[in-house]
Structure 1
């Protein structure tokens, strides 16, 4: 009797877990065409094309034209100047700068949480 009960419970668990993991999952907003800038001392102007701009490295300067879904930075000494950021700005690292002209993004300064200084602010056009 116990074996049948345990077997039934395992079958129910095997069916319930995948449904629970995928049932409440929100739709992803990433797009093909997200822009990745990786390097040291790179100076570049890009069109965000409603996608995410990811900057990783040291002393990179990126001018992001158009609308960015999000901006994510990692490393140190990087600067992004964006026309518009819609969803979020996430910064890991130290001495990072993000200036944006338009939008009302959620700002998540992970570096500051660890005692590192970053600058993230809206600036006039």
Structure 2
């Protein structure tokens, strides 16, 4: 039995909601939430957690401390540093997502 992480919203959490949003931002140690479709987000600095919902979103994060949670399909989350717990809810339902550590 695995215990799933809980992402706690805090002041400073970043919420990106939309379609086709392209943005570079600093996570500032908080959680990044990306919801929608076709968004491209480049997260600099330390993210406490990254949560992605929708489809065809791409997130590239410098460092993820706690967890990466992905809902939906055709999502891509790459992180350069950290050892986050990865929870691919889409894959559990038979959808294809890409979540992986990449060279810094």
| TM-score clears 0.5 | yes
Is the aligned partner of 1:100 residue 2:79?
yes
Unaligned ranges ≥5, structure 1:
1-27
Match of 1:36 in 2: 15
Q: Deviations over 1:77-103 (max 9, x none)?
A: 000000000000000000000000000
Cα distance in 1 between the residues matched to 2:100 and 2:80: 9
Q: Which whole-Å deviations, capped at 9, do the CAs of 1:53-74 have from their partners, x for residues lacking one?
A: 0000000000000000000000
Q: Please show how residues 3-22 of structure 1 align to structure 2 within 5 Å.
A: none
Distance in 1 of aligned mates of 2:10 and 2:65: 14
Q: How many residues align?
A: 98
Structure 1 position 105, deviation (Å)? 0.1
Structure 1 residue 29 displacement after superposition = 4.8
The answer to which structure has the higher helix fraction is 1
Structure 2's unaligned 5+ residue stretches are 1-6
Larger radius of gyration: 1
Query: What is the CA RMSD across the aligned residues, in angstroms?
Result: 1.0
Q: Which has the higher contact order (CA 8 A, sep 6+)?
A: 2
